Structure 1
Amino acid sequence: MSEISRRKLLKQGTTTFISLSSISLLKLLADSVSAAETVTGNLETQIPQLMQNSGIPGISLAVIRDGELFWNKSFGIKHKYRKTSVNNETIFAAASLTKPLFSYAVLKMAERGEIDLDAPLTKYTDKPLISDSRINQVTARRVLSHTTGFPNWSGSKPVWFNNNPGTKFGYSGEGFLYLQSVVEKITQQPLAAYLQQQILKPWGMKSSSLIWQPEYAETASYGHNRQGEPRAMSQPKAASSAGSLRTTAAEYAQFPIAMMKPGTIDSNNLTEASLQQMLTPQIKLSDSLDWGLGWGLEKTNKGNFFWHWGDLVTFKSFIVASRDLKTGIVILTNSQNGLKICEKIVDGAIGGQHPAFKYWMIDY
């Protein structure tokens, strides 16, 4: 892309994203790589301005094209005052992007006959989680589709039911922690070690972990609150299936890429049948949104996409991808304001209208 074109785009400001959507990757999938590079060149010009306008110190992106990592780019700084640059090896807190990764591992266990998605989880425990008899209706499928009836978090109190299991969507981190305890009992391994062995290492996610690693002292970004004040990343000593993954954009992109590449039962990738099951609607959220097993699902004017967002207050993230189109984007930010610019970036990168951004739980 010429310097004249870059300067022109920069001068036009953030409104350029309206026109960028017409030349997004969705329209360039069948065109040359050089044409697709025009899209990433436009993004590279515009994203710093979007970050400045919304008070976002740092961001890292990974764009998928034709089922492969096409573009990985990072912008900004890791710490407001230290001015160290974010690069493609910078570690971010992925927050709830952990949930679909854990879900993938559970479906792989189901393929191998190690867990029954529709069996009560009490089948695998020594005693029920709580005394309420409805606990016998909580299954892995209901955890992964957020239909357990549990609250999102119970704090220091024993978990309770807001709804009868299977009757209503209710986003619940508590459900994932319950299923995690079952997975750890079945595998006889801590979840961090199990996912490292089964997913992260085979997919080449060498820097990613569900627990704090010593090298993160150098590679991890700080988070930043609404006012831009830095906050140190928390350092989990034990894995949480609901949100403790630390990763890079390029490494996390290996996950949606794996969603596009079915394997065999004996491989680390899910079979086509299991991938289809993961992306089959389990509960309806709205006319255009459903929830599958671990993923949010959306119907768009460009086709069907799977998606999720992450929110650890000072770290926010978003992933949206399509198996049919073999395209997608991972966005990791180090700011409480991070989700404010994700819709514009997705519009510029892959195009289409994405109703996921209207989901009421997303805190911009």
Structure 2
Amino acid sequence: MRRASAQSIRQSLEDIAKEIGIPGMQVAFARGEHVNLYNYGVKKYDTTAYVYNETRFQAASLTKVVAAYTFFRLMDKGLIELDKPLWDYYQYDRLKNTPNGDKITARMVLTHRSGLLNWQGNVPSDAWRATPLTLQFEPGTDYMYSGEGFYFLQETLEHITNKSFQTLVEEEVLRPMGMKNSNIVWNDSLENIAAYGHYELTKPRKLGKYRKSNAAYTLYTTAEDYMRFIQKALLEGFGLKKSTHKLMMQKAAEAKKGENGDPTDKYVPCALGLRMQFNEKGTAYWHTGSNPGFRCFFITYPQRGETLVAFMNTDQGFPAMKKLLQLFFGKDQTFWAYDWREGELD
């Protein structure tokens, strides 16, 4: 693929944003150790608050990959095991009357095989936290994407360490990796640098302020910082035993599209805490995210040394994913990370 100039890429990003209706976008692309940063548009429609390198976006479900890495850091310290039921560490009140709830392991959470719904109740309300959980199948026997599983894992890690999840992420991830423009929970210093989510181009939402951390979705970060996390945690195995890093990046389970599965499932299996893509260019790792008003994704090809991170501040942003993949990686491959997920939200 012929390498495009920075100017032509910026023009292409503007064209994509205008075509789809994206108020603001932040993109990082790495080839080897060299990282290019691109910003487009505004934090909030009809303002002159432009997106720049330090603008904070909601990483949505890309938070789950950070949570998975945090788990492995604690596993390496001997504090928790991958295949021991979480109930053995922490008797989660929402599962106390749930048959088979005591069988859920960290491996099942990280591969979305816990049997828990994505969310059960109006997250993150107090009523949601008090809602008993139900299982859709016996843990470990099927696939269903679940944020509830990650929150169960979060409370388990908090219990065994006697530390808040915020403290754990700061100690195990953000500070060691030098992610100075990232927070796992809202604080008021973000007021003037955070992007607003949008229903669509001309309809901004209220500024989203998650004051209680959630391992499934509350990371505020930049494309540059998240790129740093991918390069260090996923590509280098920074802070992990070699065997643990290898384990994290191996195929761990099958994914499943719809109730009965789909032939394309084989192209997007689960690793532990992230997704894989098998296509004409080899193996990639990826994840998508969708908080109210935000759409984001990353994909990295370890053997090719190429990584793309993109944040967009609108509910309508998901169709940009394939266009961005084609812009940076070319059109001569099948992007199962998009095609398989199209129309679904994380």
Query: Quick one: which amino acid aligns to residue 183 of structure 1?
Result: L
- How far apart, CA to CA, are the structure 1 residues paired with 2:155 and 2:327? 41
Equivalent in the alignment of 1:272:
242
Q: Following superposition of structure 1 onto structure 2, how do residues 1-364 of structure 1 map, counting pairs within 5 Å? A: 22-23=1-2, 36=3, 38-66=4-32, 68-126=33-91, 129-155=95-121, 156=128, 157-226=131-200, 228-258=202-232, 259-263=234-238, 269-285=239-255, 286-351=265-330, 352-360=333-341, 362-363=344-345
Cα shift readout 1:278-326 (whole Å, capped 9, x = no counterpart): 1222221212110111101110111101100110121110100022222
CA distance in 2, matches of 1:248, 1:181: 26
**In 1, distance between residues paired with 2:287 and 2:87?**
28
Deviates more, 1:74-83 or 1:91-100: 74-83
Query: Distance between the aligned counterparts of 2:88 and 2:34, measured in 1?
Result: 41
* Distance in 1, Cα, partners of 2:221 & 2:169: 13
Deviation at residue 237 of structure 1 after TM alignment: 1.4
| Residues 46 and 202 in structure 2, CA contact (< 8 A), matched pair in contact too | no
The answer to whether the Cα contact below 8 Å between 2:70 and 2:168 also exists between their aligned partners in 1 is no
2-side partners of 1:126 and 1:288: how far apart? 36
**Identical aligned pairs, as a percentage?**
28
What TM-score, normalized to structure 1? 0.85
Aligned amino acid, residue 357 of structure 1:
Y
CA distance in 2, matches of 1:137, 1:39: 53
Structure 1 contact 40–349 (Cα < 8 Å) conserved: no
Normalising by structure 2, report the TM-score. 0.89
Letter of the 2:105 counterpart:
T
Q: Is the 8 A contact 2:199 2:315 kept in 1?
A: yes
- Cα contact 1:69–1:253 (8 A) shared by 2: no
CA–CA distance in 2 between the matches of 1:144 and 1:322? Answer: 21
1:170-218 alpha-carbon deviations (Å, 9 max, x no partner): 0000000101000001111110111111110111111211111222111
Structure 1 residues 69 and 211 mapped into 2: Cα distance closer, same or farther (>3 Å)? Answer: farther
Give the AA of the match of 1:62.
Answer: A
Mark the runs of 5 or more structure 2 residues left unpaired by the alignment: 122-127, 256-264
**Which blocks of at least 5 consecutive residues in structure 1 are unaligned?**
1-21, 24-35, 264-268
TM-fit CA distance, 1:41? 3.5
Structure 1 residue 126 displacement after superposition:
4.4
What's the offset of the Cα at 1:363?
Answer: 4.5
Deviation at 1:227, TM superposition (A): 5.0
Equivalent residues of 2:25, 2:40 under 8 A apart: yes
Residues 318 and 339 of structure 1 are in contact (CA less than 8 Å); yes or no, is this contact kept in structure 2? no
Aligned-pair CA distance for 1:349: 1.1
Task: State the AA in 2 paired with 1:344.
Answer: K
Deviation at 1:275, TM superposition (A): 2.1
Between Structure 1 and Structure 2, the one with more helix by share is 1
Query: Equivalent residue for 2:258?
Result: none
Query: How far apart are 1:40 and its partner, in Å?
Result: 3.8
Shift in Å, 1:69: 4.5
State how far apart, in whole Å, the 2-side matches of 1:83 and 1:183 are. Answer: 42
- Report the Cα offset of residue 84 of structure 1: 1.4
Q: Secondary structure at the match of 1:219?
A: coil
Q: Distance in 2 between matches of 1:363 and 1:145?
A: 16
- Structure 1 position 132, deviation (Å): 2.5
Indicate how the Cα distance of structure 1 residues 126 and 318 shifts in structure 2: closer, same or farther if over 3 A, else same: closer
